[in-house]
Amino acid sequence: MTTTLEKLEGLDEPILIDELSWREFKVVEQLLSRPGVRLSFLDGVLEIRRMPGRKHETAKQRISMLVDLYLEYAGIDFTPTGSVTLESETGRVKREADLSYEQGYFILV
């Protein structure tokens, strides 16, 4: 079965492609840069998935409110950093968190 990017709308599971170098990933990333597609890369494995929908976004916001309340109640100084992209060529990793928080020098994803 061949899965094209146009079919991603109905795709529940990600497409995984392994044994890619960082350089190959960066080329594929440029080719697949389009709305509705999210790419992640770790240890030579490229993950292609469609962007989450309304159900996911609703759950994310509710969890975010609970985390915010907990951090405030616990007196933990934090900064919401949104949908930050974490990328390292030396670590051969790129990932975009849905929501993240920063405390001091650490990013809580």
Q: Which residue type does 54 have?
A: R
pTM of the model: 0.61
Q: How confident is the model at residue 10 (pLDDT cuts 50, 70, 90)?
A: low
In this model, does residue 93 exceed pLDDT 70? yes
Mean pLDDT value of segment 97-108: 69
What is the distance between the alpha carbons of residues 67 and 53, in angstroms, rounded to a whole number? Answer: 21
Region of 44 please: left (phi>0), alpha (psi -120 to 50) or beta. Answer: left
* Cα–Cα dist 102/94, whole Å: 18
Torsional class of 28: left (φ above 0), alpha (ψ -120 to 50), beta (otherwise): alpha
